[in-house]
């Protein structure tokens, strides 16, 4: 059985999808962008946007009853590969111990013209 996960501490879905789905003890998130949920604002710069997106992801995982410590896979979509190193520095601070498996790809454009989007798969 699929369980829909949602929280107002992460950006609301802007289309026909759920923020996250839990099934068989696994949580699958949709792509999370760096929108400040309370204001709708988007921080300036890749470092601030990476921090906000990962904070949003952390809140969504908490709503699902899990945490960043249980993330096994992420996919990071970035607008500019030249920001890879700066985003990596922020990313590393959100995980302890073994880092999750990860894919990172440069894309032409993201929703709301943000600089990155991140999705995750976590265990419960």
So which residues are the catalytic ones? 104
Distance of CA 65 to the CA centre of its chain: 16
| Dihedral in degrees, nearest 10, Cα atoms 34, 94, 122, 65 | -90
Cα 49 from Cα 14, distance rounded (Å) = 18
CA proximity to 53, closest of 114, 123, 100, 124: 114
Closest CA relative to residue 76, chosen from 115, 110, 113, 105? 105
């Amino acid at each position: 059985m699929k369980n829909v996960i949602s929280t107002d501490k992460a950006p609301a879905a802007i289309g026909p999808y759920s923020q996250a789905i839990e099934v068989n003890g696994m949580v699958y998130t949709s792509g999370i962008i760096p929108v400040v949920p309370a204001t709708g604002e988007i921080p300036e710069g890749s470092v601030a946007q990476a921090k906000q997106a990962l904070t949003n992801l952390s809140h969504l995982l908490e709503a699902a009853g899990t945490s960043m410590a249980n993330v096994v896979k992420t996919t990071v979509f970035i607008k500019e590969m030249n920001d890879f190193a700066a985003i990596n520095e922020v990313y590393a601070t959100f995980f302890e111990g073994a880092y999750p498996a990860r894919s990172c790809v440069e894309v032409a454009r993201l929703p709301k013209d943000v600089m990155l989007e991140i999705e995750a798969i976590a265990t419960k």
